[in-house]
A and B are shown apart, each in its own frame.
Chain A
Amino acid sequence: MWQDTKRIFVDSAQHLLQTTARLLPNVLAMLLFFALSAVLAVAIRAGVRRVCERLALDRRLREWGVWPTGGDARASPTKLLTRISFWTVLALGTFFGLSVLDSPMTTAVSMRLLEYVPRLLVGVAIFAIAVGLARVVERNVLIGAVNMGMQSARLIALGARWLVVLLGAAIALDHAGAGSSVVTVAFGILFGGIVFALSLAVGLGAKDFVARSLQRRFPDAGTPESPAEQEDAPGQIHHT
């Protein structure tokens, strides 16, 4: 019995040692991947930070209203971008590292993730750009609508913002390959709804403006000019 136990133990130990010896290069390769990806992530983080600083990205995004002015002073677009780039490279390095382990499960998961992550990243980038663009559009529309004397300026600006966000979300989801037909239908319904709501808001809130535009085209009507659009007429304001 002792002989049997000894044989089984020695066989198991030999098997374990052989397996470890067979896996050890892969594990070392994986650790090397981790180390390389960490070094690459640090380098890319530094590069992204330098590019952002050179482009004065923080100032420009705050200037355009893409990034809120004030608030948490520690948060900035540059910091966000450097963190995203750092963790993305590190995550990709980890997936590569796992794939060299030669284990069927880890390899399959890694390969799926490596296929999907770039699409997901592009989708997230599209959505982030859309959100930033939406804020710029909102501010421009708000100022323009106020200068036109539209009482529902805020509503119109919000509508314009959500149109852009919605468009960006739909494109991002479509690119990421998530719920393709549902996204298209939902986007169509929401987009149409917002456009309809905006039409009502413009129609109700800016009927005077529309009337004045028509008057300019067909000068028989008798609607007075808005204060921001005084034209040549005696006793009127001429800005220039």
Chain B
Amino acid sequence: MCNGFVMSATSTGLSASPAALAHGEILIALEAGDRASVTASAASIRSHLAARFPGCTAKVVVATAGSETELVDVDSPDAANTATVPALAAGGIAGRLSAVVRETVRLGAPAAALLSPGAHDESVDWLGLLLQPILEAGFDYVFPTYRRERLDGMLNTAIVYPLTRALFGRRLRQPAGGEAALSLALARALLAPRAWRQDPAYVGSDAWLVASVLAGPFRAAQAWLGRWPGSAARAEDASHALARIVGPVFQEMEQHADRWQRVEGSEPVPSVGQAGVIAGGPFTVDIGALEDAFRLGLRELGEIWGLVLPPGTLLTLRRAAAAPAEKARVSDALWARIVYDFAVAHSTRVIERQQLLRSMTPLYLGWVRGFVEDVRDLDGEGTESRVEALCGWFEREKPYAIARWRWPDSFNP
């Protein structure tokens, strides 16, 4: 039996009772990485689990993605201890999650977590924060969330967080994290629908999981796990990142259109851990280059944007671009409308989806340019307030999104 839990001083909305304590073996799946890092992570996880949940046992596996996803036991990596999940779409996070979900159900594990193998912030009880809401407070899903620097995860700040929050009415600070912690009940529920395990469209993103949890009858929490451990993946340029990350979010917006149109405002999600943004050092961003990218986009891609954006929005963009040097910027209100317009165009397939998302890059950089200037002299708290203001615009402009979604043609020339 797992026992003992301490609520963080910054936790909100979690309640637990010893009666809710869970039994069984916890499944911890690590994304495949180099052997040394995986071994170190596994050792760290075991010691954390032993200290934090003394009555629990843990099975640590590595999720390897190939033609089929395998969960290889870290301690005995032989065939007998390998759980194989065949016939997946093509691996990716959907493949890893599918394997984790099946293995969780097979083991009857009360909780499972899919984690990146990088070193987590050892100054906080990150594994306890991640699993405690599930094991001791009856939550179904915990979103791992990290304290990052002001300009880190800019796509999340600019689009994913405000859009997810406005759509589902839940303030999940980092919805697209690539890591997950889930309960046995949620694993069983996820096993039923086949689409996410077989459709290649779900492979590269966990947006479908986030949307399923937020739109379904599941209890979700977010756990602040300290400083961002960094990613082993190579940094992506903005246009590829936009297509990879925002596309699935728009896809889920289409899937859950009947639900999000009935949601108004937003409410906080129960959280554990120390939230916030790290102020970090001074910026070395070239504001002029961002502005040039925005102006170049407006000059060359205006024809394509004309298929997506209403004439009024295009006119406002032209006015913004005509501002003197170092003054051109895309305001929050305009940015919120632009994101909704692109979501509608993604749904109606006005232009091919990859082209659509990649053509959004100069607009995104135009908004980033203003954000960088705004937060340059702000601390972490001030930056969070600035993000909050952006989210407010996404929520205020939601009636516009609903109107455009229902009557897309009436806004187009």
A interface residues, Cβ below 8 angstroms from B: 59, 62-65, 69-70, 139-140, 142-147, 149, 151, 153-154, 224, 226-240
Contacts and interface: CB of A to CB of B under 8 A. Distances in A.
B153 interface: yes
Contact of A147 (B155, B236, B362): B362
19 contacts: A59-B349, A65-B355, A69-B351, A143-B301, A144-B358, A145-B300, A146-B362, A147-B239, A149-B289, A149-B293, A224-B289, A227-B289, A227-B290, A227-B292, A228-B361, A235-B151, A238-B152, A238-B235, A239-B153
A64 B352 contact: yes
Nearest to B296: A146
B283 interface: yes
Contacts of B352: 63-65
Interface in B275-312: 280-286, 289-290, 292-293, 296-297, 300-301, 304, 307
Contacts of A70: 413
B368 interface: yes
Given A69-B350, A239-B236, A240-B155, A147 B361 contact: yes
A35 to B, nearest CB: 43
A235 B283 contact: yes
B56 interface: no
Nearest to A142: B300
Given A70-B413, A153-B296, A226-B289, 15 more contacts: A65-B352, A143-B304, A143-B355, A144-B239, A146-B362, A147-B237, A147-B238, A147-B358, A149-B293, A235-B284, A239-B153, A239-B236, A239-B238, A240-B231, A240-B236
B71 interface: no
B372 interface: yes
Contacts, number: 123
B61 interface: no
Contacts of A224: 286, 289
B365 interface: yes
B399 to A, nearest CB: 27
Interface string B153-174: 1111000000000000000000
B245 A139 contact: no
B359 to A, nearest CB: 5
Counting contact residues on chain B (CB < 8 A from A), the size range is 35 or more
B151 A238 contact: yes
B320 interface: no
B304 A237 contact: no
Contacts of A230: 235, 237-238, 285
Given A153-B296, A153-B300, A237-B285, A69 B307 contact: yes
B300 A228 contact: no
B45 interface: no
Contacts of B280: 234-235
B14 interface: no
A227 B286 contact: yes
9 smallest CB-CB distances across A and B, nearest first, come from: A235-B284, A147-B239, A229-B237, A239-B241, A228-B238, A227-B289, A227-B290, A235-B283, A238-B152
Given A149-B292, A227-B238, A239-B236, A143 B245 contact: no
A62 to B, nearest CB: 8
Interface in B355-404: 355, 358-359, 361-362, 365, 368, 372
A208 B361 CA distance: 19
A235 B285 CA distance: 7
